[in-house]
Amino acid sequence: MTLVLHKKSPLGIKDQIKRQIRIMVDTGELSAGQALFSARDMAKTLNVNRNTVLAAYRELVTEGILETVVGSGTFIKERKGQREMDSLKKIVDEAFEKAVYTGFSPEQITDFVLHRVTTYFPGTEGGRVLVVECNQEALEDISATLRRDLSVHTTNMLIQDLESDPQDATRQLSNIDLIVCGFNHMEELKKVVPSPPVEVVAVLLKPEIRIMNELMQLPSGAIVGFTCATQRSTETFYREAILSGGSTLIKIWAGLNQGPELQMLLEKCQVIFASHYVYDRIIHMTDASRRVIKVELTIDQGNINFIRERLTLARRLRRESDSHIVRTKNVRSGLSVLRNPNALSQSGSD
């Protein structure tokens, strides 16, 4: 396996490593079960930082392309429905051969392709995303993840604020590439903005499977509490998520902002499920006889990848639309000069 890093590439070192390994898997150059160099050896071969290689490997593991076996190493993971890349390879090879035959040098072709990739697929860096959720903690959590993983600019809005001022919602969308909305609030957003000018993508905050197992193993008749930052976020998440299971349990829902209801939950519930947004505060409000279970909510990597895909497409379409508008203006300006040639001479004499 040979990886080649390009200094002129618009992609960072980590992304170049990831994409080359991914394409080698897709084309069959790397097969299921094949071992990769260790992160240390790969870093030495490429003359890059070991942590960069580790980060690339970890993300490919998350994407289901690699798997790590403790004590053995990192291997290509067997994948169902692997994409057929022969046709794409044929298209690209024919284009390269034609370019060389026409007289372009390898350096010219490389520079042009790298530039064209950045303009045709602008990526997500610098993209503008509106994040919609029902509590400030979730908004900040989702936004931080998108900024870290996609290098985007985010604007946060509570669904409650959008509902109270739909006109403000419309104004907020004027300079946005994509809307990312909490899964449980998609229907509410549609009521506020029935025809958004940009695509809306749902984001799902999911608990670990361990938490769901904890819930299902509780004895019948146990009094169980569920809490998050607000009453709305508590009910939309726990009642509609997988954690709504356990029909033989006695359940109490109370947001951190619900004084009397929260107090009742703290007094009556032997077990309390608290989102990681409020866990530390709930711990300080309960006595040692109560069991408080921390519910870590995370965004699945597949969800992040889907947001990346839709944002990339949205930015490319916007760029093409902007270019079309500029060309149209130039054409109209030219027609105006043809219809009134004196305007050009007058402009030149000023």
Calculate the dihedral angle through the C-alpha atoms of 113, 119, 125, 126, rounding to the nearest 10 degrees: 150
137, 183: one domain: yes
pLDDT of residue 322: 59
110, 49: one domain: no
223, 240: one domain: yes
Domain end among 268, 298, 328: 298
Residue 60 within a domain: yes
pLDDT of residue 296: 87
181, 310: one domain: yes
93, 225: one domain: no
Residue 332 within a domain: no
219, 142: one domain: no
What CATH number is associated with residue 244? 3.40.50
CB atoms within 10 A of CB 47: 7
What CATH number is associated with residue 43? 1.10.10.10
214, 236: one domain: yes
Residue 71 within a domain: yes
27 backbone dihedrals φ, ψ, rounded to 5° = -90, -5
Domain end among 62, 95, 120: 120
311, 186: one domain: yes
195, 247: one domain: no
Q: Is 139 exposed, middle or buried (0-12, 13-18, 19+ CB in 10 A)?
A: buried
pLDDT at position 171 over 80: no
Start-end of H helices in the chain? 13-26, 39-46, 50-62, 86-102, 106-120, 136-150, 159-164, 166-172, 186-192, 209-216, 231-240, 259-268, 279-285, 301-339, 341-349
Q: What is the pLDDT of residues 221-267, one digit of tens each?
A: 899 999 999 998 888 877 665 556 556 888 999 999 888 999 999 99
Conformation bin of residue 203: beta by default, left when phi > 0, alpha when psi is -120 to 50: beta
212, 279: one domain: yes
pLDDT bucket at 121, cuts 50 / 70 / 90? low
Q: Which of 317, 25, 10 is nearest to 177 (CA)?
A: 317
What total of structural domains would you count in the chain?
A: 4
167, 137: one domain: yes
pLDDT bucket at 301, cuts 50 / 70 / 90? confident
Residue 52 within a domain: yes
pLDDT of residue 130: 94
Helix (H, G, I), strand (E, B) or coil at 153: strand
pLDDT bucket at 81, cuts 50 / 70 / 90? very low
Angstrom distance (rounded) from CA 70 to CA 51: 18
CB atoms within 10 A of CB 320: 12
171, 312: one domain: yes
Residue 348 within a domain: no
Tell me if 164 sits within 8 A of 319, measured CB to CB.
Answer: no
For the record, the structure tokens of 344 come out as: 């050009």
User: For 267, what's the count of Cα atoms within 13 Å in the CB-facing half-sphere?
Assistant: 6
Angstrom distance (rounded) from CA 69 to CA 33: 11
Residue 63 within a domain: yes
Residue 94 within a domain: yes
pLDDT bucket at 327, cuts 50 / 70 / 90? low
What CATH number is associated with residue 199? 3.40.50.2300
Range of the domain at 256: 207-298
Q: What is the pLDDT of residues 177-223, one digit of tens each?
A: 999 999 888 999 999 888 888 999 999 888 877 888 888 888 988 99
Residue 147 within a domain: yes
